Structure 1
Amino acid sequence: MGSQSIDYKELQFAFQQGAIQLINEKQELNQINVFPVSDGDTGSNLASLMETILEESKSESTSVIDVFENIAEASLLGARGNSGIIFAQYFNGIYTNLLLQEEKNSVKSFIKSVKLAISEAYQAIENPVEGTIITVIRSWAEALNESEQMNSLEKLLPHALMEARQALENTTKQLKILQRNQVVDAGAKGFYLFIEGFTQAFVTKQAVARSIIGSNHSVKIDISESLHENTSEPNYRYCTEILLDQVTQTKEEIQEKLSTLGDSLIIAVNRGKARIHIHSNHPDQVLNYLSAIGQPIQQKADDMLLQYEVNTQKKAPIALVTDSIADLPADYVLNNQIHVLPMNILIDKTSYIDKITIQSNRLFELTKKQNERATSSQPTLKTVENLFSFLETRYESILVITVAGKLSGTYHTVKEAAKHRRAANTKIEVIDSKLNSAAQGLLIMRANEWIQSGIGFEELVRKIRSRRNQFKILVSVDDLNPMIESGRIPQSVGKIAKKVNLKPIVSLNQDGEGKLSNFTFSLEGNERKIVQHLKKMHKKNRIQRYAVVHADSEKRALLWKDKLVEQLGFQPSYVIDISTVIAMSAGQGSVAVAVELGEGTDSR
């Protein structure tokens, strides 16, 4: 048995075909996904992993250990979701154990390594649950027994595949939620499909049906409509995943630290990289800790609670989408099922998710510490397409209201993503609000109220386009530097105002570009000008509602609120901290008031 060798080219081919087999069945995996959360994305997550494996395995290998090194590296980079990270840890475990064997290309070493890697896959999971992917992995690996009757992988693999098939079918009986829905575990089936393709390729030397190698095929990370009703509200809100490089802690140390921040904790670590998955209410705290022990290079945080509420009690047939620059209270966003595309903030090589893994007060702490200006970027095309894939299976139409196109590329990115969805039955309309911050937030509130009233989609779009000019924001800033550096206001005017220490009112013109007006020589004078301006607007146009927002300056914002209540005679809709992206350009200590004017008026 020890003299039997594995052809590394056949091994690489088998990995590729196993990946293709799984990708081909991703929609079915999405549909049977009910554990641990019925979010319908296990197939898409595993397909994303397999796509990365396909891409990385195109590079030339010269040995079995080379193949496993490439697969191990690719799996850490591409892993998504619970099952994906368990997959990644298992592949890395095989590679690590194979490195310790004398004959690294022998069948005997391969069998020994896949068995030893079982314990590493279990260790990746904080609380392993039988009847899931881990059970099928163990059953398959343990079935690869050395014997005189079966002395080659061509004979061993089909036998192990049968054992894996039996273990997969048994998952229905092992977990009550699977039994209620009469399905097998989605992650477990994903592993079985991979092994099935792997085995077929190794035994027959033939490709699986519908091969996609060498094509321009791109796996869409879409989410199919769940077919199951027997699900419960998630214990934690955000499905958080982070890929770390230059990791300084062991897997056990990371587990101990993160176990207090949520559940469904899975960690895969190898060669200085770690992929972490956790369900948590505090993804910002998760990232803060991980940033201290490594360099975050990828992250995501999906709102499982919002997905659950949309799946179980959708409020309207129209999906309302905006970006995180729209300043609205978090509770309002969740309670009204508003979908938010997050902006990204980059500080010293670490990328953060606006309002989820970073808040504006934390932004100022980090930029002072790093002595470096933060930068921002709009949601990626893939992020937008992922959201559309989810919404299209649940809504009749989708309305997206973005930050002003003059201030961000978000509008154009979303428009581009919408073009790709023309074949779908769901209507999609993308509107440039020509606003930002709380003014954009108030427009979202108004759009939501129209949606809840039952207004038709075409009428909704018409009303928003005609009413967006009735929303206005007035900003008071102490230091104009951040706005000048970020290009949010005209540089020439900004530099002159700064030179003579003038304090202007910052607002947006009718095209959504920053403008300066009503210059004063002090913040107090600036505040008085804003209050006077609002009084005039209220007298002439009747302010319907208003909101006060601030950049890490709650005390000043509350004082503003009291003055405005006195002058306008009613309370603001909300007082909150602003988006990190807006805080980055407005600067620490800035305060703004956004208003909605009465119908038929033009605030500009």
Structure 2
Amino acid sequence: MESRIIDYKELLFAFQQGAIQLINEKQELNQINVFPVSDGDTGSNLASLMQTILEETKSETSSVVEVFEKIAEASLLGARGNSGIIFAQYFNGIYNNLLLQEEKNSVSSFVKSVKLAIGEAYQAIANPVEGTIITVMRSWAEALNENGQRGSLEELLPNALVKASEALENTTKQLKILQKNQVVDAGAKGFYVFIEGFTQAFINKETVVTKIVDFDDSIKIEISESLHQNTSEPTYRYCTEILLDQVTESKREIQEKLKLLGDSMVVAMSRNKARIHIHSNQPDQVLSYLSTIGQPIQQKADDMLLQYQVNTQKKAPIALVTDSIADLPADYVLNNQIHVLPMNILIGNTSYIDKITIQSNQFFDINKTEDERATSSQPTLKSVENLLSFLETRYESILVITVAESLSGTFHTVQKAAEHMTSTTTKIEVIDSKQNSAAQGLLVMSANEWIQAGLSFDEIVERTKNKRGQLKILVSVDDLNPMIDSGRIPQFAGKIAKKINLKPIVSLNKEGEGKLSDFAFSLKGNERKIIHQLKKLHEKNKIKRYAVIHANSEERAIQWKNKLSEQLGLKPSYVMDISTVVAMSAGQGSVAVAVEMDKEEL
């Protein structure tokens, strides 16, 4: 009989082979993904997890326990999606139980830990559903333990793989949504593909996967086009995930607190870290609670409702993309299927997602308690590539309208991501709006109307570039410090205005750079000057539409709306809070008006 001690090198090799095999199957897993929602990203999410495991296990390892420790840690860091977080809890459960065994490198301890970890995986899920990944995990673990933990892994693994295969095929009968679409569960198949590669590597002792993923290539979270029409609109809009460090509450306490905020909840925990997954309409409340019991170090919130609508009722062959600095009503963005790249805001040690896990009115309350100035950052290159990868499978062309290049690096990041999409036949155009806030929003609104009218892509691009000169934004600022500190206006002029207590009108020049355009000695005087300027503009060029935006100053914004409606004979298209990123530099109490003219201002 072969030795019943596990060779740690063989164990690590088997994990890596299982990971590579799963990565290579990601597209098929995406295509069969219909549960719990048909968002077509299970394969990509699991591939991202496996990529993290591959990266974190490249360094030297010296024992079976160390192999599992690295895999457990990597899985919490790299887990994405419902199935990914269940995977992560299972791997952490195996590691936790292995630490309790006397012989930590024996086959007996391994198969015992594999079975005990099933309990931890079940506990991670708020409402476990049979016919999913958890069912196949349990069948595999129980099969490994059938022989009373006797024998080598080479003897035990093949039978367990057969039992897992049978459990996988049976998932189609266990869930109505799988039966309707005649598919197995995508997460369950992901686990099976992994243990198939794991098993073959243990038995053959050699590389069995022909396609090896380059460890230096990051896995894009591509969301494939759904092949399944027998799906329903998601109950909750955002697939929200947060990785916490220094967690002070138990898994059960977290589940109890979050259960009223959504469904499909999975909480994976290990060594003071927790990865939380929940489908919710209130990701800001989810993060607000979790910030009180730990330190958020990663987060994401995917718009499942928008993905579903694009999959089932796409409005146009051209995708329209902007960033979260463009101030447009949330309902307008969703109803017109506009894709938004969110900015990131760092307050203290916590990072937030603009307009999703933080709103501008919340920002001022949170920021009061911090000594350091809040900072913002553009979307990451990977997040932009992920969105473009999703859009290229569904649209003929993609138009991206970014905040002014002079105010943010977003334009260059999106351009770089578009250049990486060299294999696509989808046209991609990235336009610097030379605007921000609602002026950028009005430009997006114009582009959307041309898309809905059926104009050609090239004509829309040309019109959008020309339209930039017909937009203007005027901002009334009470406190100049935030704009001076953020570099949004010239420091010398700003400091002089502040010293003599002038209230300037802030606007943008033709390149999108901040400038001080006029001054008053009071906010009332400032307001009169802005309304006078807009009245003259309307007489000269005719204002087509305008929007009023504010930084936690709704009452003042409503007053402006009423006065402008009377003076211009035209109601605003919308009144709303500005984005958190703009609020950071404009300061609390600021109010602005963005206008679109019928012809370019001379």
Shorter-chain TM-score range? over 0.9
Other-structure match for 2:171: 171
Other-structure match for 1:14: 14
Deviations 1:348-368 (A, max 9, x none): 111100000001111111111
**Aligned residue identity for 2:487:** G
Following the alignment from structure 1 to structure 2, what is the Cα–Cα distance between the partners of residues 237 and 87?
24
Deviations 1:501-526 (A, max 9, x none): 11111000000000002111111110
Other-structure match for 2:308: 308
Other-structure match for 2:131: 131
Once the two structures are TM-superposed, the CA of residue 238 in structure 1 deviates from its matched residue by 0.3
Select between 369-378 and 578-587 the one with higher mean Cα deviation. Answer: 369-378
Task: Name the SS for the 1:454 alignment partner.
Answer: coil
Deviations 1:141-188 (A, max 9, x none): 000026389611001001100100111111111111111111111000
Alignment of 1:468-507 (within 5 A): 468-507=468-507
**Aligned residue identity for 1:172:** T
Other-structure match for 2:330: 330
Task: Name the SS for the 1:141 alignment partner.
Answer: helix
Q: Is the 8 A contact 1:2 1:108 kept in 2?
A: no
Other-structure match for 1:154: 154
Q: Is the 8 A contact 1:20 1:208 kept in 2?
A: no
Other-structure match for 1:344: 344
CA RMSD of aligned residues (A): 1.3
Once the two structures are TM-superposed, the CA of residue 423 in structure 1 deviates from its matched residue by 1.6
2:99 is equivalent to residue 99 of structure 1: yes
Other-structure match for 2:601: 602
Select between 203-212 and 397-406 the one with higher mean Cα deviation. Answer: 203-212
**Aligned residue identity for 1:247:** V
Q: Is the 8 A contact 1:415 1:430 kept in 2?
A: yes
Q: Is the 8 A contact 2:473 2:592 kept in 1?
A: yes
Other-structure match for 2:409: 409
Alignment of 1:65-214 (within 5 A): 65-145=65-145, 147=147, 151-212=151-212
Q: Is the 8 A contact 2:76 2:275 kept in 1?
A: yes
Select between 221-230 and 69-78 the one with higher mean Cα deviation. Answer: 221-230
Following the alignment from structure 2 to structure 1, what is the Cα–Cα distance between the partners of residues 422 and 450?
25
Once the two structures are TM-superposed, the CA of residue 36 in structure 1 deviates from its matched residue by 0.6
Following the alignment from structure 1 to structure 2, what is the Cα–Cα distance between the partners of residues 413 and 208?
38
Other-structure match for 2:246: 246
TM-score computed with the length of structure 2 as normaliser: 0.99
Task: Name the SS for the 1:143 alignment partner.
Answer: helix
Other-structure match for 2:270: 270
Deviations 1:99-155 (A, max 9, x none): 111111111111110000011101111111111000000000000026389611001
Q: Is the 8 A contact 2:112 2:145 kept in 1?
A: no
Following the alignment from structure 2 to structure 1, what is the Cα–Cα distance between the partners of residues 254 and 574?
38
Following the alignment from structure 1 to structure 2, what is the Cα–Cα distance between the partners of residues 539 and 148?
89
**Aligned residue identity for 2:203:** V
Once the two structures are TM-superposed, the CA of residue 210 in structure 1 deviates from its matched residue by 3.0
**Aligned residue identity for 1:429:** E
Q: List runs of 5+ in structure 1 lacking aligned partners.
A: none
Q: Is the 8 A contact 1:242 1:277 kept in 2?
A: yes
Task: Name the SS for the 1:564 alignment partner.
Answer: helix
**Aligned residue identity for 1:602:** E
Following the alignment from structure 2 to structure 1, what is the Cα–Cα distance between the partners of residues 571 and 419?
42
Q: Is the 8 A contact 2:111 2:149 kept in 1?
A: no
Other-structure match for 1:255: 255
Following the alignment from structure 1 to structure 2, what is the Cα–Cα distance between the partners of residues 352 and 208?
42
Q: Is the 8 A contact 2:2 2:152 kept in 1?
A: no
Q: Is the 8 A contact 2:396 2:426 kept in 1?
A: yes
**Aligned residue identity for 1:586:** A
Once the two structures are TM-superposed, the CA of residue 82 in structure 1 deviates from its matched residue by 0.4
Q: Is the 8 A contact 1:317 1:395 kept in 2?
A: yes
Q: Is the 8 A contact 1:24 1:210 kept in 2?
A: no
**Aligned residue identity for 1:352:** Y
Other-structure match for 2:389: 389
Deviations 1:186-222 (A, max 9, x none): 0000000000010011111111323436643322211
Following the alignment from structure 1 to structure 2, what is the Cα–Cα distance between the partners of residues 491 and 261?
44
Other-structure match for 2:439: 439
Once the two structures are TM-superposed, the CA of residue 500 in structure 1 deviates from its matched residue by 1.1
Task: Name the SS for the 2:292 alignment partner.
Answer: helix
Q: Is the 8 A contact 1:3 1:106 kept in 2?
A: no
Identity over aligned pairs, percent: 78
Alpha carbons of structure 1 residues 40 and 149: separation in structure 2 relative to 1, 3 Å: closer
Alignment of 1:503-518 (within 5 A): 503-518=503-518
Alpha carbons of structure 1 residues 149 and 7: separation in structure 2 relative to 1, 3 Å: closer
Following the alignment from structure 1 to structure 2, what is the Cα–Cα distance between the partners of residues 59 and 398?
41
Once the two structures are TM-superposed, the CA of residue 467 in structure 1 deviates from its matched residue by 1.3
Alpha carbons of structure 1 residues 401 and 106: separation in structure 2 relative to 1, 3 Å: same
**Aligned residue identity for 2:459:** E
Deviations 1:229-273 (A, max 9, x none): 111000000000000000000000000000010000000000000
Matched residues, number: 602
Other-structure match for 2:542: 542
Once the two structures are TM-superposed, the CA of residue 3 in structure 1 deviates from its matched residue by 7.6
Select between 574-583 and 417-426 the one with higher mean Cα deviation. Answer: 417-426
Deviations 1:333-360 (A, max 9, x none): 0000000000000011111000000011
Following the alignment from structure 1 to structure 2, what is the Cα–Cα distance between the partners of residues 49 and 104?
25
**Aligned residue identity for 1:57:** T
Deviations 1:531-562 (A, max 9, x none): 00000000000000000000000000000101
Deviations 1:266-321 (A, max 9, x none): 00000000000000000000000000000000000000001111111111110000
Task: Name the SS for the 2:104 alignment partner.
Answer: coil
Q: Is the 8 A contact 1:54 1:213 kept in 2?
A: no
Once the two structures are TM-superposed, the CA of residue 371 in structure 1 deviates from its matched residue by 2.8
**Aligned residue identity for 1:61:** T
Q: Is the 8 A contact 2:54 2:215 kept in 1?
A: no
Select between 548-557 and 219-228 the one with higher mean Cα deviation. Answer: 219-228
Q: Is the 8 A contact 2:506 2:516 kept in 1?
A: yes
Following the alignment from structure 1 to structure 2, what is the Cα–Cα distance between the partners of residues 409 and 186?
37
Select between 575-584 and 422-431 the one with higher mean Cα deviation. Answer: 422-431
Task: Name the SS for the 1:429 alignment partner.
Answer: strand
Q: List runs of 5+ in structure 2 lacking aligned partners.
A: none
Other-structure match for 1:225: 225
Task: Name the SS for the 2:229 alignment partner.
Answer: coil
Alpha carbons of structure 1 residues 47 and 149: separation in structure 2 relative to 1, 3 Å: closer
Once the two structures are TM-superposed, the CA of residue 499 in structure 1 deviates from its matched residue by 1.1
Following the alignment from structure 1 to structure 2, what is the Cα–Cα distance between the partners of residues 571 and 110?
70
Following the alignment from structure 2 to structure 1, what is the Cα–Cα distance between the partners of residues 37 and 245?
28
